[in-house]
Amino acid sequence: MKHLASYMLYIAARLGLAAITVFGVASLVFFGMRLIPGTYADLFFPLATEAERAEINAQYGLDAPVFVQYVKWIGAMLQGDFGTSIVTRGPVIDEVVARLPLTLELASLALIMIAFVGFPLGVVSGMFHGSAVSQTGRHASTLLMSIPNFVLGTVFLYLFSVYSLGLKAGGWSPMSDGLLENLRHALLPSFTLSITGLGLVLATARSSVLGVMGQDHILAAVSRGLEPRAIFTRHIFRNSLIPVVTIFAIVAGYLLGGTVLVETVFSLDGVGRLLVNSIIRRDYPVVQTGVILTAAFFVLMNTIADILYGFIDPRVADRQDG
Amino acid sequence: MENKNNGLDRRSFMKAAAALGLTASSMGLRSIAMAADGGTFTFGRPWETVHLDPHASQLSSSWNIQHMVFDSLVTLDEEFNVVPSLASAFEWQGNNLVFTLREGVKFANGREMTSDDVVKSMDRALKSKGNPWGLMMRNKKSITADGNKVTFEFDGPNNVALYSLAATLVCIMPMKEMEDGSYDGAGDKYMGTGPYMVSEHIANDRWVLKRNPHYWGGPAKTETVVVRTIPSTQGLIAALNDGSIDGAMFIGDPDAPALLAGAANISVATQKSTDFNYIGMNCVADDSPFKDLRVRQAVALAVDRDKIINFALAGNAEKTYGWTQWGFTDDSKLKFREPDLEKAKALMAEAKPARTTVKYLVRAGGVHEAVAQVMSQALAEIGITCELETVDGGVWAKRVWGTNPSEMDITSSAYSGFPHPLITAHWWAPELSGFTKGYVPVNEEYTAALNAAVTKATGDEVNASLQNLYEILNEQCVKIPINVNSETIAWRSDRVNMTPSARQSQNDVMAGVETWEMKA
């Protein structure tokens, strides 16, 4: 009971911290965007007079002092109003939410590949230290982390568009048109997105397993005559998981950032590409909303990782409790 | 045991996570699948239409879609002659330009276009913020309708009016529907008198256009045109190769023809454009070395257009010495044409500028970075060191157009050339077109000559005035035109019959799309 209470307190503290972080990101992006020279009117109404450009700015509330704009925006956002796109004049939340599923699917598939390919390979590579398998794992992780994803994406674009290899390089097909067709479109960009994370998780899992295997309690378990399978599941796997979970949370955040490049290379209409275009066009409301939702997702992933620490290793939550 | 006490175990967590992921993935995913009726032509282009209101669209990147939906009173043929469009005939009667409206023209909703739509569209367009056509028609007294005649009354000649009217900036919109609120003139559900109307627009991704059943030129051959935004050249080529698109434009990428060479079933054409690249120098800022005419002239003599075209533009461009396109003016009379380093160095020695390290502001994207690289080497030859700074379009616009004096010494950029050179000539007169006032000095002689060329000259005087302007600008060297662009159009010859126009102006890359036909 005492442990449950400390665990709940731990979760509450993490959620509070997450809310503060998202608020901080919101403020940063709001003021950051306004520090970049040039407004929508400067960019797209070059032939307008200064008075006309001022009128266009006023139309979007950009004539008010920045702090007043900020307070109004925060107030509206707290009531669920994320504003209107300056470019399309549609509700910003619709623009972002319409593109979220694609971006989330890409990131989810990439995470799945990392979890089910990178992690097991890392564990195996760590378990068989000194063997060819281990060496291969080490070199593979370095190689994967070294390839920029836009380079791999461009190579895929060429290979898969010129030769009919089954997968589609570019464009999108929703799940509603069939899972197989969806996967034909999603696999290449997802894999491209995953490679850095694959390498990172492989390397982390490998070194984590190696570290745990060198500890005294493993030697003691072997001395006690425990089955290798039991040693792995009870001692090695669980203890080597915490650094991997940490890396997973970081990789999840990186994946959302990585979609910017991957969506551009593969011409996919996701949140990443929307954000880049909106920054270029100074469409402040879209950038602000897109960044906040992305940041919220990233913070959520980190919070989940924090909560999982407490779950995997109860001592973490107990320490938080004091 | 503790896990169970917490009411959360690994297995239930994984199940919940998987369910959440699947739900998120299936939520409202949008299709880019093409209609399977065989009548869909899918075209790729590297940019998106940002200005939605045609009357306020000041950047050429927005005009491509608008050309397919909206018509103007007149249009251009491939030789850039003004030819009838919504007006079946036009003539000058003294200082009045009289249009006879074509009979039976209907908007895509089936309503007949009236002279009221024309007069009100013109009024709206010319009053739109920053629409430069108000400037072009500065001596207009009135626009009136009488039956199927619409008359533009001027207080003298106007030598750009007719050409100006062949643009989407002054297209005819359904004003009755705009007034009763059933059509949003500033929105993206375009409905005009052109061959297509918009059925769907997903910003940054695609426009879906359906055949306008009431098009006055007869129904377009292809039922649906999908225009997709594919930002990279590699993406466009991949989509052409795998058949995701049937055609593509490669604007601003001179390497495209080489990249497309040898591709199976892909035809490639080069389209001459009136768009041109130029070098601009700051002649307004007190500390700019380019305030000194001799330094600017030295730069003009250091410019090697062949080198720029070969190194920065992959040889796919045509050099130009002025802003005018083919046939209007006589280049041989210009003083600053071919490179002459000795003369340039002599001018620099005479000028002895206090500062020889300059800030070269470059707009990111397109060919400007490569042009700036070649230019900075040319300037080094005459003792000018360039500090290159590449910035995005917004920062560039603010520093060059939105600040006075402009926050740069020299820059590379491009103008959308128009079918008549007198239109573009206004961008050298900051009193008339304010956006260049941060770096282009007021030149009263030039502005007076421009005003006279537009609103006073008649007959042969027009071209003579143009030549005069051309020579003034060549000698002043504030902006140095480098080349007119050639754009690359590619299409799947096994899937579509299409003939892109050999020349285009105002980003009408898909001119004639209504005649393009999918193969069975």
Which pLDDT does position B251 carry in this prediction? Answer: 83
Q: Which of A56, A264, A279 sits opposite B129 (nearest CB)?
A: A56
Which pLDDT does position A1 carry in this prediction? Answer: 58
pLDDT tier, A6 (very low <50, low <70, confident <90, very high otherwise): confident
**Whether pLDDT at A165 is above 90:** no
Q: A161, B239: Cβ pair inside 8 Å?
A: yes
Which pLDDT does position A311 carry in this prediction? Answer: 72
Which pLDDT does position B30 carry in this prediction? Answer: 32
**Whether pLDDT at A254 is above 90:** no
Task: Yes or no: say if B273 and B489 are a contact pair by the CB < 8 Å rule.
Answer: no
Task: Yes or no: say if B165 and B154 are a contact pair by the CB < 8 Å rule.
Answer: no
Task: Yes or no: say if B503 and B78 are a contact pair by the CB < 8 Å rule.
Answer: yes
Helix, strand and coil content of chain A, in percent to the nearest 5, comes to 80, 0, 20
Cβ–Cβ contact B188 with A under 8 A? yes
Q: What is the 8-class DSSP label of residue B55?
A: G
**Whether pLDDT at A123 is above 50:** yes
For residue B345, give the 3-state DSSP assignment: helix
Nearest CA to A286 out of B479, B283, B261, B50 is that of B50
Share of chain A above pLDDT 90, in %: 39
Show which of residues 208-247 on chain B sit within 8 Å of chain A, judged by CB atoms.
228-232, 234-235, 237-239, 241-242, 244
**Whether pLDDT at A132 is above 70:** yes
Which pLDDT does position B475 carry in this prediction? Answer: 94
Average pLDDT value for chain B: 89
**Whether pLDDT at A121 is above 70:** yes
Q: Please, what is the Cα angle at B261 between B259 and B262, to 5 degrees?
A: 130
Which pLDDT does position A216 carry in this prediction? Answer: 86
Q: Which residues are CB-neighbours of A247 under 8 A, at least 6 positions away?
A: A200, A201, A204
Annotate B372-394 with DSSP letters as a single string.
Answer: HHHHHHHHHHTT-EEEEEEE-HH
Helix (H) or strand (E) holding A138: helix A132-146
pLDDT digits (tens, 9 = 90+) for B315-337: 989 899 887 666 677 888 899 99
Token couple for B85: 């469009």
Show which of residues 394-413 on chain B sit within 8 Å of chain A, judged by CB atoms.
394-399, 401-402
Q: b or e along B325-348 (b: 16 or more beta carbons within 10 Å of the residue's beta carbon)? A: beebbeeeebebbebeeeebbebb
Q: Which parts of chain B register pLDDT below 70? A: 1-38, 324-327
Q: Is A110 exposed, middle or buried (0-12, 13-18, 19+ CB in 10 A)?
A: buried
Interface size A-B, in CB pairs within 8 Å, comes to 178
Highest mean pLDDT among A34-38, A159-163, B12-16, B189-193: B189-193
Which comes out higher in pLDDT, residue A266 or B23?
A: A266
pLDDT tier, A315 (very low <50, low <70, confident <90, very high otherwise): low
Per-residue pLDDT averaged across A37-60, rounded? Answer: 87
Per-residue pLDDT averaged across A162-170, rounded? Answer: 83
Q: What is the ipTM of this complex?
A: 0.80
Which pLDDT does position B503 carry in this prediction? Answer: 86
Alpha helix segments (H runs only) across B312-459: 341-351, 368-381, 393-400, 421-424, 444-455
pLDDT digits (tens, 9 = 90+) for A199-230: 999 999 998 888 888 888 888 888 888 888 88
Q: Report CA Rg, chain B.
A: 26
Distance between B202 CA and the closest CA of chain A, angstroms: 9
Provide the whole-model pTM: 0.85
Which pLDDT does position A247 carry in this prediction? Answer: 85
Q: A267, B28: Cβ pair inside 8 Å?
A: no
Which pLDDT does position B221 carry in this prediction? Answer: 94
Distance between B23 CA and the closest CA of chain A, angstroms: 9
Which pLDDT does position B28 carry in this prediction? Answer: 34
Among A91-100, A178-187, B12-21, which is the least confidently predicted range? B12-21
Dihedrals φ, ψ of B334, to 5°?
-85, 140
Cβ–Cβ contact B328 with A under 8 A? no
Average pLDDT value for chain A: 87
CA dist B510 and B217 (Å) reads 16
Dihedrals φ, ψ of B8, to 5°?
-140, 120
Dihedrals φ, ψ of B226, to 5°?
-110, 125
Pairing, β B40-45 against β B224-229: parallel
CA dist A263 and B373 (Å) reads 29
